[in-house]
């Protein structure tokens, strides 16, 4: 998508998008733009409404914003127009930028328009959305030049669209090898280095916990390491994302909800998308990211409940439940990252527990850290763009939940309570007491229901959150 600033609508024909803040249903003053008057009896800018008027060879789309709106609401409003009024974009399009809009609101609106092009029907025949055509040009009317803001919005949306697809596509396509290849190709395109450890190199490296999870699958595990190293880097951030491309539960096989377990790599996908976006925006921060990718399946080679396995950190782990596998691959990722790259701050993302969904529902992710400054910065980054976080405790009172009599630690407490917390304590055990580490449990927000599809689908949660956090360090 290209963009061009235009001074006015003289001789313009096509679709005009006109955002309108709410007035009142009883207003006697009509909303007016481009010679078109709209009276409050039919439209007054109420949030989540729009009104079409055909005049002067133009389709005027008045878009209701409500009285106040946040970044996420703005993005959703414009995504709705793009997704559900696709035919409006088959013509020349002009977006009117109100004087009241700040750059964040412009960014959210343009990003929303592009996100509205997403089609969940990957294996259905359908026409390409007009916004995605190479010759599409978005005209905009504004007092100032917003080219930089619009370009940034497009980069954010493109990264999120990539992650929508990675999470929504089926597991017979999105295998560990597919994720590794995606990382390599994206690194070449956007400017970060990628190294991938297959099974043999992972064994040689000592990634025993990671390899144990993938033992029951025909898909070869892939330990993906990405490095973005700008010359002017001011800090070094480490990321780790859970990349379970499908989770049967292993021998503790899932008895419900398995059809949605293609989304169990959403944390890894968020890290992949964040790497694309960080490099695309050329942020002045060094980032090293690891996505341990494998499939938790079932066969004669699967690891067993009551097995004791080793880890990269050298700690032994008693396996209580093979469905608590995400934390096993994460700890090897965390240990390897911290030991070999020594980042200033480490953040991991994972669809880790159903417990966090029971606690927080589908509104926000669980945040675990003992670093209050890091907690504050992550929450601020999330609040600013509508990817919210809520901090839960990491008190040492929960350590007994992961203590084992036969090994250094066990992977599951066996209790029906505090599951998200005990999982976070398990991860913390392998961070070598890193003073700036945070764990984000995104199980309730990475894959869900909304108006844009009939079934659960990807949200790309974490891509923009992590990027915004790094951008504002």
DSSP assignments along 275-331, one per residue: HHHHHHTT-SSEEEEEEEEEEE--STT---TT-EE--TTS--EE-S-TT--HHHHHH
Catalytic-labelled residue, pool 80, 86, 254, 388: 254
- Are the C-beta atoms of 445 and 387 separated by less than 8 Å? yes
Distance CA 207, CA 204 (A): 8
Listed residue (380, 387, 389, 394) closest to 435, CA to CA: 394
Q: How far is CA 469 from the centre of its chain?
A: 13
- Cα angle 328, 333, 336 (rounded to 5 degrees) comes to 125
Reported as half-sphere exposure (CB side, CA atoms, 13 A), residue 454 has a value of 1
By residue count, the chain amounts to 473
Pick left, alpha or beta for residue 279 (phi over 0 → left; psi -120 to 50 → alpha; otherwise beta).
alpha
Give the position of tokens 């700008």: 230
Catalytic-labelled residue, pool 152, 327, 377, 425: 327
Secondary structure, 3-state, 339-364: HHHCCCEEEEEECCCCHHHHHHCCCC
- Reduced to 3 states, what is the DSSP secondary structure of residue 53? strand
Name residues whose C-beta falls within 8 Å of residue 216's C-beta, 6 or more positions apart in sequence: 250, 251, 296, 297, 298, 299, 301, 302, 303
- Are the C-beta atoms of 356 and 246 separated by less than 8 Å? no
- DSSP run (H or E) holding 365: strand 365-368
* 55 is annotated as an active-site residue: no
* 254 is annotated as an active-site residue: yes
Per-residue CA distances from 110 to 117, 155, 222, 223, 322 (Å)? 12, 10, 35, 35, 43
Catalytic positions: 254, 327
């Amino acid at each position: 998508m290209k963009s061009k600033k235009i001074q006015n609508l003289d001789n313009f024909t096509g679709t005009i998008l006109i955002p309108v803040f709410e007035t009142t249903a009883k207003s006697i003053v009509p909303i007016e733009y481009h010679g078109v008057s709209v009276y409050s009896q039919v439209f007054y800018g109420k949030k989540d409404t729009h009104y079409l008027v055909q005049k002067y060879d133009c389709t005027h789309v008045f878009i209701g914003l409500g009285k106040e709106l946040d970044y996420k609401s703005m993005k959703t409003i414009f995504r709705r127009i793009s997704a559900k009024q696709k035919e409006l974009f088959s013509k020349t399009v002009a977006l009117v930028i109100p004087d009241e809009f700040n750059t964040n609101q412009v960014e959210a609106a343009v990003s929303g328009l592009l996100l509205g092009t997403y089609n969940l029907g990957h294996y259905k025949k359908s026409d390409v959305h007009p916004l995605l055509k190479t010759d599409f040009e978005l005209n905009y009317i504004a007092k100032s030049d917003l080219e930089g803001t619009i370009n940034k919005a497009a980069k954010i949306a493109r990264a999120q669209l990539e992650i929508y697809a990675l999470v929504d596509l089926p597991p017979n396509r999105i295998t560990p090898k597919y994720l590794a290849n995606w990382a390599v190709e994206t690194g070449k395109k956007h400017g970060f280095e990628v190294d991938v450890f297959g099974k043999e190199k992972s064994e040689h490296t000592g990634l025993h916990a990671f390899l144990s999870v993938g033992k029951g699958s025909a898909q070869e595990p892939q330990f993906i390491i990405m490095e973005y190293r700008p010359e002017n880097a001011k800090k070094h951030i480490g990321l780790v994302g859970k990349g379970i491309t499908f989770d049967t539960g292993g021998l503790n096989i899932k008895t419900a909800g398995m059809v949605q377990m293609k989304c169990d790599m959403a944390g890894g996908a968020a890290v992949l998308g964040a790497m694309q976006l960080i490099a695309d925006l050329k942020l002045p921060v060094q980032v090293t990211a690891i996505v341990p990718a494998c499939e938790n399946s079932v066969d004669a080679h699967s690891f067993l409940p009551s097995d004791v396995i080793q880890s990269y950190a050298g700690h032994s782990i008693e396996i209580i439940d093979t469905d608590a596998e995400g934390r096993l691959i994460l700890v090897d990722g965390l240990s390897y990252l911290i030991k070999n790259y020594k980042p200033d701050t480490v953040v991991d993302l994972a669809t880790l527990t159903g417990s966090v969904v029971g606690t927080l529902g589908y509104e926000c992710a669980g945040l675990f850290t003992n670093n209050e400054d890091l907690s504050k910065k992550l929450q601020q980054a999330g609040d600013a763009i509508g990817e919210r976080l809520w901090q839960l405790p990491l008190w040492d009172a929960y350590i007994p939940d992961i203590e084992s009599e036969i090994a250094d630690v066990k992977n599951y407490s066996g209790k029906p309570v505090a599951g998200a917390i005990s999982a976070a304590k398990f991860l913390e055990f392998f961070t070598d007491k890193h003073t700036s580490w945070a764990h984000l449990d995104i199980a309730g927000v990475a894959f869900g229901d909304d108006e844009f599809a009939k079934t659960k689908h990807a949200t790309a949660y974490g891509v923009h959150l992590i990027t915004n956090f790094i951008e504002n360090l």
